[in-house]
Amino acid sequence: MIGLRSRARRAEERRGRSADHRVVHLVASRCLDYPTGDLLAALPMLADALAEQAGSPGARELVTLVEHLGSQPLESLQRAYVDTFDLSRKHALYLSYWTDGDTRRRGEVLGRFKTAYRRSGFLVDTHGELPDYLPMVLEFAAYADAEAGAALLQEYRASIELLRIALQEKQSPYAAAATGVCATLPGESPADRAAVMAMVGMTGPQPAESVGLEPYDPRLLPLQPVSSSPPQEARA
């Protein structure tokens, strides 16, 4: 009986963590996308969702960003967003850009993101974005397939950590979103870029054509066939 209760508690804890992570991923997805009037209208709902996960480190991080977004005029938020993410490669929101840059192999990597989406049985509307766009991956994890989405985030943990460090160095409010996402992933975040490289076994200088880290083995696996079952409609 004790063993059964222990397993039940662990199962309940896992369900709680899953719900917590979905909330963090959803709120981070909304906040890291280009700010619009719809985002401002949704901020009270996002704040309520975070309040329900008050014990979550990731949720606590995001509270500060939601409050910041709610305190600024839309035009100011849009200018700051463009300055942060569109005019600087140091804060790229495309996960494979950090690992593969503009190299030839990046096309193959992007194809693997699409395959991951399709294998979950969902038809993902990219809305003109590349499939490794972090807000899209987060929305996929929140709405479509939490397990597959978490696997993608963990696979590209180094990219998210590098983004977090770059945003912290800029003292950007958006650093809270990257920090919150990292808090949903196993283990502690590395302290600096050198520690990120050590985390994925990197040593020595990076190739000139790459902007971040060299790709590591899990993403070099061959593509798997896409399920032939009819996809469900979902935006991620």
The pTM (predicted TM-score) of the whole model is 0.75
> pLDDT at position 171, please?
96
Which residues lie across from 233 on neighbouring strands? 123
Instruction: Give residue 44's pLDDT.
Output: 97
Distances (CA, A) of 202 to 38, 59, 185: 41, 31, 20
Q: For residue 210, what pLDDT is reported?
A: 40
pLDDT of residue 200: 62
Quote the number of domains for the chain.
1
Q: What is the pLDDT of residue 94?
A: 92
- Residue 233, pLDDT score: 41
Distance, in Å, from the CA atom of 14 to the CA atom of 39, rounded to the nearest integer, reads 30
Extract the residue ranges of the chain whose pLDDT is less than 70. 1-17, 101-104, 123-127, 199-236
Question: What's the domain range around 160?
Answer: 2-234
Task: Supply the pLDDT for residue 123.
Answer: 64
| pLDDT, position 39 | 97
Give the pLDDT score at 209. Answer: 37
Position 46 scores a pLDDT of: 96
